Structure 1
Amino acid sequence: MLNTSSSIAKQLVVTEILPPYQFYQENTALSGFSVEVMQEIFKITGDEIDLQVFPWARAYKTALNQPNTLIFSLSRTKVRENLFIWGGKLMREDIYAWCLQEKFKTPITDIEQLKKYKLAVTNSSSTAQYFQQEDYPFIYTVVSPEQSLQMLYLNRVDFITGTKSTLVARASKLNLEVSRLKKIIPLSVVNHDLYFAFSLNSDKKIVTKYTNAYKIIEKNGTLDKLRNKWQVQ
């Protein structure tokens, strides 16, 4: 279990709840694929960790502005490339546009066709940044992915985005009928590798220590074992 005591903290780490990568178990312990990868890295670095779980926009803003801040799991996009110091790759996401089964009876074959529909995205997420950059006119930004899912089920928006594993986990948590969800179209333009990364003004020695630790778990097979355990790419 990660040490979250800020009184003895040495390294600030920020994240969000993003099952199956980061989520709370019933006993309130933080678990998931990315959490277990980072735990292995922390064992090697030997640091005490001040882990802060925030809504995504706050975690992202903290990592942008506060020195020596580590953030995970962060999509590595063109927009973000020069905003962070990139550590190690955790996994890759396959993202789709999703609707309710009764919608979109005519197949969508091009992402541009979605411009006439209402979309809910999480504030400061990579998908939000993409659709805003491409001037999609009917975007609703929300604090959490759960809100976007609830808006979809309430017919307040036409589609949302996400991976199958994350949407199934969220729908189950909210007691929503998972079978009502339907993929519209793959969103290859927003498929990105997820990394842990550091704020730009971070100490180079700290960054090197963590990237070296990542190389160790990559080389000794620990990373692949965790990917197999959690069935991520």
Structure 2
Amino acid sequence: MALLIFASTSALSSELELNQLRYITEHSPPFNYVEAGQLKGPAVDLLLLASQKAGSPVARKDILLQPWARAYRNALEGPNTVLFNTIRTDARDKLFKWAGPTGSEKYVLIAEKARNIVIRTRADLTQYRLGAVRDDAGESYLRELHIPSKNITLATNVNNLGKMLKAGRIDMWAFGEDGWRQSLEDSAIKPANYEAVYMLKKNDYYFAFSLDVEDRLVQQMQDAIDMVKREQAKKSFTN
């Protein structure tokens, strides 16, 4: 009996808490980005606040910043890893455990205004060279449209795609509607010279947990996110 009690106590003491997981994000304004050497953005703020509500606060300094392709691979492999902001697509649904949503965004194709590109049907897209971040939702959406692989150029980070677009190495770039202008500015490219010419899809962002993370931790995060949203909604209503 004493051995059983000891074993049970040891097992409980070894259980991880939310702030012991590995959190990874990327520089992708406006939801999560680096400014003056500090991670900022509403997705970062939500993580910090929700984990605090859950009684297991995550420290801003402990959030890892990585290029998307590497971050995505690390989240797939684990262990005990959370990737954000991650768009929840049908193709990704069973690859992670999810808590959210943390926000939503339309994914669009951006082109140089001077090109006067007009997309009337999906079939029109096969005439162009399209760029996307590797393993990003933009790549997934292009694959769903059955764009030939020879028409798709993949990069490890968003800044490279902006430079490719300016250099004429790609005709259009798939990215979030809310963030492409800032991403171009980060690469010293004038966003006023570019425009969104086609909407690919609208989807929600989530925290994506590697599959080895315990369900109880995912549920703790979900409950805390719901609590934050209720409080924010109540505050907005009273204001």
Task: State the TM-score, normalized to the length of structure 1.
Answer: 0.85
1:54 equivalent to 2:66? Answer yes
Question: 1-side partners of 2:78 and 2:234: how far apart?
Answer: 28
- Please tell me whether residue 161 in structure 1 is matched to residue 174 in structure 2: yes
Question: Residue by residue, what CA displacement relative to the aligned partner does 1:76-100 show, whole Å, maximum 9, x if unpaired?
Answer: 1110111111101011111211110
Q: Is the 8 A contact 2:24 2:71 kept in 1?
A: yes
Does the 8 Å CA contact 2:71/2:83 hold for their aligned counterparts? yes
Instruction: Output the CA distance in 1 between the equivalents of 2:235 and 2:192.
Output: 31
Q: Are residues 37 and 43 of structure 1, via their aligned partners in 2, closer, same or farther at CA, if it must alter by over 3 Å?
A: same
Deviation by residue 1:56-84 (Cα, 9 ceiling, x = unmatched): 11111111111321111010111011111
CA contact (8 A) 1:56 1:123 kept: yes
Q: Distance in 2 between matches of 1:29 and 1:100?
A: 31
In structure 2, how many angstroms separate the alpha carbons of the residues matched to 1:223 and 1:146?
38
> Which residue pairs with 2:121 in the alignment?
110
Aligned in 2, Cα 1:108/1:171: closer, same or farther, shift over 3 Å? same
Report how many residues are paired: 213
| Alignment-derived partner of residue 175 in structure 1 | 188
Matches within 5 A, 1:86-165: 86-105=98-117, 107-137=118-148, 138-165=151-178
In structure 2, stretches of 5+ residues that fail to align are 1-18
Identity of aligned residues (%): 23
Taking a change above 3 Å as real, the CA distance of residues 86 and 155 of structure 1, as seen in their structure-2 partners, is same
Q: Residue in 2 aligned with 1:3? A: none
Match of 1:230 in 2: none
More helix by share: 2
Structure 1 unaligned segments of length 5 or more: list them.
Answer: 1-8, 226-233
The 5 A counterparts of 1:10-29 are: 10-26=20-36, 28-29=37-38
TM-score normalized with structure 2 length: 0.83
Partner of 2:218: 207
Q: Where do residues 27-38 of structure 1 align in structure 2 (5 Å cutoff)?
A: 28-38=37-47
